[in-house]
C-alpha cells in the first residue's frame, strides 16, 4: 500500500485526500485540531470543514506531524498560508532527503511576500522537490466526485508524472503546467479579485461595471505574476481565468460571499466570525498592497479592493478612482 502525506485537515486538504484514497492510496492526514482527528476516526466525517462527506477508511488522521513524515515520502500541504512557515518549522526535524512536496495552499506570505513553494524551499533548502496542484475546484464538489480539472506544475518531469498518477481518475482530469510560480500567482491573486467582484454584486452594481473590474483586475494579476517571475500566459488557463470564474461566480466561494456581505454594508469582522475563518483573499489583499509598493506596480483595482476591506475607501470612491484612471469624462 502506497502511503501519501497530507498536511492540513481543512476542506481542500480533506477533499484532495478523498481523491487519493479513491485511487487506492492510504493518506496520513495531519490535522491541527485534535477534535477533528477524533471525529474523523470515530465517524469518518470531517464535520467542521467538509460536512456530509463520508471519508474513506484509507484516510488516517493524526495530530502528530512526525507521523506524516515517518510514513510517507510525498507530502501534500493544504495549510493556510498565514500558518505555513510555522508548520514547516515544526516539521523540520522530521524532513529527510526522500521527501517531496505538493503545494495546495493559495496565497502570498504577508511579511516576506513568498509563495508557498518559496516558503518550502526557504525552510528546507533549494534542493527539495516541489510541485503545485491548483485549478477551479470547490472542495465539496471535488469530494462529491464532480468532474474537475487541475493543473500540475513542477520543473521535475518525473515528479510531475508521479503527481498525475496519484490524482488522475474518472472525475479528476489533470493537465501539465510548466510554470509553478504563475500557477500559484493565479490561485492566490484571484481570491482578491473575487472578493472585489463580490462587493460589487452585493452593492448591486451593474454587470457592465463588474465586467470592467473583472477584465482590468485580471490584467493586474498578470502584472503581479510577472513581477514574481511567472508567465502571463499561465493566467489564461485553469489556474487563472478558470479559477477566477469559479471563485467570483460560484455560490460556494467564501471570498465572493465575504465580498457580497461587505457590499451590503457588513464588516469583515462580522463575516469572518460567522464563517469561523478568514477567507484567503483578505490576507492576500494586504500582501498585494505590499507587493505593489515593493515593485512599483500600478494596481488600481486590486489596491482599491484592499482599501475597501480595510475601510479606507467606499465603493463610490473606488469606482471614481477607476473612472479617472481609465479615462472616463467627468
Q: With contact defined as beta carbons under 8 Å apart, do 131 and 103 qualify?
A: yes
Whole-number pLDDT of residue 321:
80
| Catalytic hit among 92, 190, 231, 310 | 190
Residues 57 and 106 grouped into a single domain: yes
Q: pLDDT (tens digit, 9 = 90+) per residue, 260-289? A: 999 999 999 999 999 988 999 999 999 999
Radius of gyration of the chain (CA): 19
Residues 202 and 129 grouped into a single domain: no
Residues 206 and 104 grouped into a single domain: no
Residues 40 and 163 grouped into a single domain: yes
Between 326 and 177, the more confident residue is: 177
Residue 258 parent element (H or E): helix 254-263
- pTM value is 0.94
C-alpha cell at 292: 505593489
Degrees to nearest 5, angle at CA 6 with 4 and 10 = 150
Residues 122 and 157 grouped into a single domain: yes
- CATH number, residue 157: 3.40.50.720
- Does residue 3 carry a catalytic annotation? no
Whether 330 shows a pLDDT value over 90: the answer reads: no
Domain total of the chain:
2
Edge-to-edge order in the sheet of strand 172-177: 59-62, 26-30, 3-7, 74-77, 100-103, 129-134, 148-153, 172-177
Q: Is residue 90 part of a domain?
A: yes
* Residues 6 or more apart whose Cβ sits within 8 Å of residue 328: 322
CA distances from 200 to 22, 116, 260, 275, 310 (A): 39, 30, 7, 20, 16
Q: Which of 130, 149, 178 is the last residue of a domain?
A: 178
Q: Which domain holds residue 76?
A: 3-178
Average pLDDT over residues 243-265: 94
51 by Cβ neighbours in 10 Å (0-12 / 13-18 / 19+) ranks as: exposed
Q: With contact defined as beta carbons under 8 Å apart, do 200 and 209 qualify?
A: yes
**How far apart, in whole angstroms, are the C-alpha atoms of residue 195 and residue 189?**
10
Amino acid at each position: 500500500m502506497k502511503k501519501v502525506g497530507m498536511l492540513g485537515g481543512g476542506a481542500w486538504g480533506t477533499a484532495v485526500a478523498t481523491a487519493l484514497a479513491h485511487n487506492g492510496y492510504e493518506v496520513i492526514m495531519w490535522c491541527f485540531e485534535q477534535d477533528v482527528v477524533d471525529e474523523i476516526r470515530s465517524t469518518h466525517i470531517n464535520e467542521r470543514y467538509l460536512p456530509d462527506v463520508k471519508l474513506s477508511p484509507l484516510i488516517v488522521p493524526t495530530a502528530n506531524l512526525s507521523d506524516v513524515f515517518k510514513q510517507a515520502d510525498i507530502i501534500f500541504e493544504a495549510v493556510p498560508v498565514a500558518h505555513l512557515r510555522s508548520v514547516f518549522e515544526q516539521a523540520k526535524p522530521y524532513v529527510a532527503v526522500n521527501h517531496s512536496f505538493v503545494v495546495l495552499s493559495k496565497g502570498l506570505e504577508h511579511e516576506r511576500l513568498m509563495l508557498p513553494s518559496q516558503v518550502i524551499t526557504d525552510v528546507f533548502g533549494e534542493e527539495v522537490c516541489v510541485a503545485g496542484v491548483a485549478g477551479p475546484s470547490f472542495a465539496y464538489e471535488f469530494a462529491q466526485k464532480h468532474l474537475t480539472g487541475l493543473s500540475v506544475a513542477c520543473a521535475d518531469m518525473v515528479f510531475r508524472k508521479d503527481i498525475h498518477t496519484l490524482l488522475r481518475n474518472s472525475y479528476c482530469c489533470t493537465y501539465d503546467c510548466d510554470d509553478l510560480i504563475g500557477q500559484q500567482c493565479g490561485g492566490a491573486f484571484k481570491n482578491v479579485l473575487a472578493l472585489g467582484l463580490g462587493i460589487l454584486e452585493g452593492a448591486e452594481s451593474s454587470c457592465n461595471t463588474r465586467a470592467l473590474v473583472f477584465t482590468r483586475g485580471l490584467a493586474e494579476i498578470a502584472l503581479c505574476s510577472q513581477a514574481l517571475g511567472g508567465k502571463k500566459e499561465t493566467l489564461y488557463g485553469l489556474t487563472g481565468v478558470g479559477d477566477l470564474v469559479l471563485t467570483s461566480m460560484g455560490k460556494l466561494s467564501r471570498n465572493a460571499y465575504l465580498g457580497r456581505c461587505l457590499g451590503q454594508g457588513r464588516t469583515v469582522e462580522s463575516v469572518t466570525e460567522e464563517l469561523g475563518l478568514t477567507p484567503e483573499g483578505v490576507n492576500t489583499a494586504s500582501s498585494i498592497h505590499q507587493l505593489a509598493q515593493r515593485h512599483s506596480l500600478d494596481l488600481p483595482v486590486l489596491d482599491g479592493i484592499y482599501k475597501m476591506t480595510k475601510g479606507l475607501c467606499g465603493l463610490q470612491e473606488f469606482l471614481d478612482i477607476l473612472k479617472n484612471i481609465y479615462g472616463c469624462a467627468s
